[in-house]
Structures are given as C-alpha cells and as structure tokens.
Amino acid sequence: MKGILLNNWRLKLVAVLVSLGLWLYIYQEHNPRFSINHRVSVRYVNQEKSLHIKNAPESIVVEFKGSPDQIQNIDPGKMWAEADLAGLDAGRHTVPVRVVHGTRLEVVDKKLNISLTLERLNSIERTLTVLPVGSLPIDKRLGTVRPSRDVVTFYGFENTLNKVSEAAVSLYLTDQSKSFSLRLPVEARDKFGNVVPGVTAEPEEITVDVAVNNANTRIVPVNLNFSRGLDPSRVVAEHAPVTVTLFGKDTALSSISFVGTEMIDAARCVPGAEFEVNLQLPRSVFSADDTVTITCKEPRTVSRLFTVNLELVNVPQGMDASIEKTKFEVIITGDAVDLDQLKLEQIRAALNLSKFKNEGRHSVKPELSVRGARGDLELEYDESPITVTLKKK
C-alpha cells in the first residue's frame, strides 16, 4: 500500500495542487468578493465624566469585503465603530477602534485608530432635591422619601456650571398606591427651576425609595353658609353630599367637627333652582368631594295675617291728632319662604295728614307698604277711611 502511494509521488502531488488551484479559480468565479467603503458613526465608551472629548471624529470610513449579497444587505443602523476610553487621562491620544457590524463582512483594516484630545472639566457639588410631581390617591399620604445619594457632582465648563443651583430628580406620584422604589435621572437646574444643558452628573441616576401610607380618615357633616344669616332649612330642599370623608393626619383631623361651604348668596336659591358650591376644606386635609349640590325648595304660596301699629304721619304743625283704632290688620299672600323671612317691622300702615290744616274730624284712607320684601307679595286690607281728630295744642 505504501508503495502505491509513494510511486510517482511527485506527479501525484502536482495533480493535487493543480486540482486545488482549479477549484479555487472556479469558486472565485462563481463566488466573487468585493470591497466597499462605508461611513459608520463612532461611539465613545467608558469615558470619565470629568473629561471632555475634543477634536474627535463623529464618524469614520471603514473598508468592508464580502460577497455581493452581503454587501447589498448592509444595515447602517447596525454598524458602528467603538472607541474605548477607559483609563485615559487628559491629553492627546491615539485610540484603537473596534468595528461592530453584526454581519459576515470582513473588515479589511484590522488596526483602525482615531486621534482625539481629552480635556479636564470643572466640577461642582450640589445637594439633591426630590421634586414630587402629581399626587397620590386621595386615601394615601406620602411617607419617608429616601434618595440613595444626598449630593451630586456635576462636570462641565465653568460658565455653564455657574448656572447650576441644585440637583433634582422628578418623582411621579400619580397612581402610586403602595411603597415603591424608582431609579430616576438626575437633572441640573438653575435658580428658576429650568434644566441646565451641557453638564454631566455623577451619578447620572439616583435610586429613590418612597414610603406610601394609608391616610387617616374622619367623616364630618357639611354645613351650608348662606348670606344674611339665612337658615338653610327654609330654602333648601336637599343638598348632596350631606357628609364628607376627610383624609389627613390625626393631628389635623381631630379638631374638625364639620366642613362648611363658601358663602352662598341667598338670592341664588330661587324656588326649584339647583347649583353647586365649593367646600372650604381646612388646611392639610383632603376629600374626594370638593363641591356640594344644592336643590332649592319649590314655591309654596301661603297667606298670613299680620297686625301692625297704625302710624300718623305729616301731622299739621301745632296740632294733636288722635284715632280710636291704633291697630291695623293686613293679610299678606306670597311664597312661604319669603313670608318666613318677613319681619313685622318691615310692614308699615300709615295715615297721611299732610292735606289737612284745620281742626275737626277728618276721614283718611290708610296707606300700606312692605320694605325690603323678597318676591312678589299681595296685600289685602280694609281700605275704608279711618276717622282722625285734629285739635290745636
């Protein structure tokens, strides 16, 4: 067997080499490889936050080699060059780059480098402020808020750092019903609360642990406050809600026995009207209800008898006037609510003696008026003349 393999071995070796060369030629004819130059972005990683990159390219041109199908299917979004800045200090540097392309393409130049300058930045420290945004559900209250860091370092140019007044994270509370922990980005803010661009925070994110507690509750009645000291029961048919549930700290709730409304103009409560008024909640407490709906009573017409003193007015000078009847009766008809508020001193019955100058007995018709009455009132009384006697003093 050995003799067969070694017999004319030179000729056999030449035949194998010729066959291999022929196969490579045919393979390359059917599977040609081409080169293409493609511009890719440069990503700088592991940069120290106290350093600023200067005079560095944003992109470089990379030569790729591959088959026509591979070149045709290049996805620019999945290709970039990565420059690792770990361990570099301020100064001028030549940094090797690694081309990331995620394909079977071949990078022709395996030793790509870029030149850049690293410049030392200024730094300041600022106390961290946690800024609540939104509000918790009405039956919850905010407990202890603990950020993982109290102080944040900012890096940047001096003129920009001088604008930074505080480090802040925005803590969104809406829909948070139980204690939670969030990792939040740190922002540099100026004295007006605006974000300052162009600075870098160390750390860039802060973990904030937030305690959410159940709020204490107290149910209290709603008191309606009408102007003019009007008793609500006279004009209000109903109001809703009648009671409200208050949420807050025990120290705030313990002293509250009721919740009043804003001052209600009595003129608004016309018969059959319905309207809303605001609740006046004490400080440091909350309620799911902030308004009360008031429904006014429907009109109810009634008649009532009033007895008033009969007055003598415009008595002639130097005369005494007398009458036998000093009391006068009047029936007033109107809305029950209006009559409930009508006071006796608002009703005036008078005998006007201005046209009489001589002594004797005179017949005078009574004059009746109601001062400051609400609504339309009908007056019914005896209009017969009343005898008045005038005598000289």
pLDDT tens digits, one per residue of 268-321: 888 788 999 999 998 888 888 899 999 988 777 888 899 999 999 999 988 899
- pLDDT at residue 13 in the model: 63
**CA–CA gap between residue 99 and residue 107 (Å, rounded):** 8
**CA–CA gap between residue 52 and residue 42 (Å, rounded):** 16
**CA–CA gap between residue 198 and residue 169 (Å, rounded):** 17
How far is CA 191 from its chain centroid? 22
pLDDT greater than 60 at residue 336: yes
pLDDT greater than 70 at residue 5: no
Percentage of the chain modeled with pLDDT above 90: 49
Q: What is the CATH number of domain 216-296?
A: 2.170.120.40
pTM metric for this prediction: 0.50
DSSP sequence for 30-65: HS--EEEEEEEEEEEES--TTEEEES--SEEEEEEE
pLDDT greater than 60 at residue 23: no
Q: β-strand 200-202 against 166-172: which pairing, if any?
A: unpaired
Q: 301-392, what's its fold?
A: RNA Polymerase Alpha Subunit; Chain A, domain 2 (2.170.120)
Contact 224/261 with Cβ under 8 angstroms? yes
Question: Tokens 């770990």 map to which residue?
Answer: 86
DSSP sequence for 311-322: EEESPPTTEEEE
Q: Mean pLDDT throughout 131-158?
A: 91
- pLDDT at residue 122 in the model: 92
- pLDDT at residue 22 in the model: 59
pLDDT greater than 70 at residue 4: no
Contact 299/271 with Cβ under 8 angstroms? yes
> 310 by DSSP, 3-state: which?
strand
- pLDDT at residue 295 in the model: 92
Lowest mean pLDDT segment, chosen from 62-76, 253-267, 351-365: 62-76
Percentage of the chain modeled with pLDDT above 70: 91
Q: How many residues does the chain have?
A: 393
Q: Which CATH class is domain 122-214?
A: mainly beta
In degrees and rounded to multiples of 5, residue 72 shows phi and psi of -65, -30
pLDDT digits (tens, 9 = 90+) for 26-64: 545 555 567 788 899 999 999 888 899 999 999 999 888
222 band by pLDDT with thresholds 50, 70 and 90: very high
Contact 189/162 with Cβ under 8 angstroms? no
Whether CATH 2.170.120.30 fits 34-120: yes
How far is CA 250 from its chain centroid? 26
Mean pLDDT for all residues in the chain: 86
- pLDDT at residue 142 in the model: 87
One-letter amino acid at 241 equals P
